[in-house]
Amino acid sequence: MSETVHEDDLVARARHALGKRDLVFVGLMGAGKSAIGKPIAQALDIPFVDSDHEIERVSRMTITELFAAYGEPEFRALETRVIERLLKAGPRVISTGGGAYINENTRRAIRDMGALTVWINADLETLWARVSKRDNRPLLKTANPRETLANLMAARYPIYAEADITVMSRDAKKEIIMREVLEAIAAHPASASTEEADHAG
């Protein structure tokens, strides 16, 4: 009973700290952005949306098909537009594709809207164990996908590190990672100026 009360208190503190801001999950493929983001959204009682799924919905094409048909630069431009629209409809939890936060325009849009960003970090072994099971990652369709993944980590991790919050994904129960995310949110209350700027556009 006391544990449930404690959990309720943590969720209440996290919800109060988040305020009217969007919560944006960033990180590499396989880190667990959606796996953690969905239950976080449920706990905070706000909507959840996966930006990749939204891109596929509006384009009526899969991410793999979009990459093949238009190339990465055109895909990133579409991704930025979709995420900008999602940010205007918050507060909500948004799980972004692995390359979204790397795009300077998308990063600026997230920052300008006052969203709280969470980097779900993970080591190479954890990521590879997850992504190697599926064949739906356009950027890993290379001769040595594990090496490609390592190179993506080296290039992207310094940028992901700009996020407001970093939580380590690992071989642990989802509830443990969720608690760490909620505790970090509770420790990042919105300032008055951020609250005023939220969804002003």
SS3 category, 51: helix
pLDDT above 90 covers a percentage of the chain that reads 68
Residues 156, 65: Cα–Cα separation, whole Å: 23
What CATH architecture applies to the domain 2-188? 3-Layer(aba) Sandwich (3.40)
CB of 18 closer than 8 Å to CB of 117? no
List, for residues 95-122, the tens digit of each pLDDT value.
999 999 999 999 999 999 999 999 999 9
Q: How confident is the model at residue 8 (pLDDT cuts 50, 70, 90)?
A: confident
Average pLDDT over residues 62-91: 90
| Cis status, amide bond into 91, omega within 30 of 0 | yes
User: Does residue 178 register a pLDDT over 70?
Assistant: yes
Residues 46, 92: Cα–Cα separation, whole Å: 5
CB of 194 closer than 8 Å to CB of 110? no
Residue 169: which residues within 8 A CB-CB, separation 6 or more? 27, 31, 32, 36, 120, 121, 122, 126, 177
Residues 130, 32: Cα–Cα separation, whole Å: 9
User: Does residue 74 register a pLDDT over 60?
Assistant: yes
- Residue, of 189 and 83, whose pLDDT is higher: 83
List, for residues 155-169, the tens digit of each pLDDT value.
999 999 999 999 999
Mean pLDDT score of the chain, rounded to an integer? 87
Domain boundaries, the chain: 2-188
In this prediction, residue 25 carries a pLDDT of 98
What single-letter DSSP state applies at residue 102?
T
Q: How confident is the model at residue 90 (pLDDT cuts 50, 70, 90)?
A: confident
CB of 95 closer than 8 Å to CB of 101? no
pTM over 0.75: yes
What tokens does 160 get? 């992901």
Residues 111, 170: Cα–Cα separation, whole Å: 27
Separation in Å, CA 13 to CA 5, 55, 86, 153: 12, 32, 24, 33
